[in-house]
Structure 1
Amino acid sequence: MSRTGTKVLERRVGGRPTREEAEARDARLLDVATRLFMERGFDGTSIDAVAEAAGISKPTVYARYDDKRDLFAAVLRKRIRDWLAPLSAAAEAQATEAKPKSIKTTLHELSRHMIAYTLAPEAGACQRILSAQAVQFPELAKLANEEGWLRAVRGVSSIMRQSAARGEIKVHDPELAAHMFLNLVLGHSKRLALYGIATDPETEERHRKAAVDFFLNGIRSK
């Protein structure tokens, strides 16, 4: 869309966009901010650059976000939501469906999604930004932990509770088991992504499958 076209989203009689236009504008802003942060890093990205690339005025950006840290936090939250979406759906299915998928199938599917997302170039760039900004903006790392990791733990532990209630597995502490599962399955991939190390998909798939099977054996999957 041309810059002239994008400006239409901000202009209406009285200068106020419709709700749909505002939502489209905000989504475009986050998409552009994500791309620039991942390409240029935190220090190399400015509000000016994001506004220009998105075809949105600076005052409009500042009306939505206080500063660059606030904008990056919004980018981080969106990435977390996308990462957690399959996990939330799986936990709901385990709780509501009459015949949900087995714990083995569920954990293999979830781990495949999580690792693919973790190994994407954008994920590694995001991890590096969090590490580089940890001292100046510790609240960003806190956000990633509380809204990302801990919510993932709760989702996996919910799946395990449901599976245990059906007699499919035996697990005494679902939350601890969820921590172990996520560390076991994602630890290797997160390190690769953080340091930008390329990985062979077949090797990573073997590692993922072995990690999930090892975990399932540990919780005595039937």
Structure 2
Amino acid sequence: MYISVVTTTRRGRPTQAEAKKLHQKLRKAAVATFVKHGYDGTSMDAIAKAAGITRRTLYARYPDKRAVFLDVIPWALTRTTEREAAQEIDDVDLRTALVAVGRAGLARAIDPDVVRLKRIAMTESARFPEFAVSAHSMTWSPRHRQVMDLLHRHHEAGAIDVDDPELTAGHFIALVEHLPARLADSGIYRSSEEEERHLQRAVDLFLRGVLRRE
């Protein structure tokens, strides 16, 4: 009599790459769940289900919903999108570079999910003093640094006259994004042609103020 013995190999700990991929998947699922249901309407069960993981796996990474919210909101508002990451602006003229950065920022500022996410974060700010900066400022930070570096580089080359790149970069972002973002926050979305016209005009006005004059 022969007895067939089936052995199973126990899966070891996930690799660093697998763990990172799972974390990104979890974050995206959590953000989508918060956007759809709001903070109060979201549960750990709903997040785990959206991510396609078990409750045990979720709780191994976050002790509660508050911890998830504190992690994913700043990440979602500051992360660089694939479109932004693909931009090559080092070897182009200043206007072309500003238009590229401004176009990506404008698209992000009026993205319905981003608008909704900022609204949720601001609504919950009283419960989350850990948010030392406003949700609106979070969306600016990566782009702010990008514009600062761009202005510094062209100032050093003698093309523009900017004595405070940090402040000037903030003015550029405000000029491009502030009005469209405020309109979107009120549910008003202009046509793509209108937004492009707004962007081009904003860049031209900005350049008039920083270009070096003979």
Q: TM-score, normalised by structure 2?
A: 0.83
Deviations 1:97-134, CA, capped at 9 Å, x for gaps: xxx21111100011001111111111111111111011
Which stretch of the first structure deviates more once superposed, 33-42 or 105-114?
33-42
- 2:43 aligned with 1:43, yes or no? no
Choose the corresponding residue for 2:96, options 84, 88, 105. Answer: 105
* Distance change (3 Å), C-alpha of 1:209 and 1:69: farther
Give how far 1:70 is off.
Answer: 2.5
* Distance change (3 Å), C-alpha of 1:189 and 1:84: farther
Q: TM-score, normalised by structure 1?
A: 0.80
- What corresponds to 1:70 in structure 2? 67
- The one-letter code matched in structure 1 to 2:51 is A
Does the aligned pair in 1 maintain the 2:77–2:135 contact within 8 Å? no
Does the aligned pair in 1 maintain the 2:48–2:55 contact within 8 Å? yes
Distance 2:145 2:18 in 1: 35
**Which stretches of structure 1, 4 residues or more, deviate above 6 A after TM superposition?**
none
Does the aligned pair in 1 maintain the 2:38–2:120 contact within 8 Å? yes
Q: Which has the larger radius of gyration?
A: 2
* Distance change (3 Å), C-alpha of 1:217 and 1:109: same
The size of the alignment, in residue pairs, is 204
* Distance change (3 Å), C-alpha of 1:37 and 1:221: farther
- What corresponds to 1:81 in structure 2? 79
Does the aligned pair in 1 maintain the 2:29–2:47 contact within 8 Å? yes
- The one-letter code matched in structure 2 to 1:171 is V
Structure 2: stretches of 5+ with no match in the other structure = 1-8
Choose the corresponding residue for 1:166, options 157, 164, 179. Answer: 157
Distance 1:89 1:138 in 2: 34
Distance 1:30 1:42 in 2: 15
Does the aligned pair in 1 maintain the 2:122–2:134 contact within 8 Å? no
- What corresponds to 1:185 in structure 2? 176
- What corresponds to 1:176 in structure 2? 167
- The one-letter code matched in structure 1 to 2:79 is R
Structure 1: stretches of 5+ with no match in the other structure = 1-11, 95-99
**What percentage of aligned pairs have identical amino acids?**
36
- 2:44 aligned with 1:53, yes or no? no
- 2:15 aligned with 1:24, yes or no? no
- What corresponds to 2:3 in structure 1? none
Deviations 1:17-61, CA, capped at 9 Å, x for gaps: 333432332222122112111111122111111112222122221
* Distance change (3 Å), C-alpha of 1:187 and 1:47: same
**For the aligned residues, what is the CA RMSD?**
2.6
* Distance change (3 Å), C-alpha of 1:131 and 1:182: same
Distance 1:20 1:174 in 2: 37
- The one-letter code matched in structure 1 to 2:46 is A
Which stretch of the first structure deviates more once superposed, 71-80 or 201-210?
71-80
Give how far 1:68 is off.
Answer: 2.0
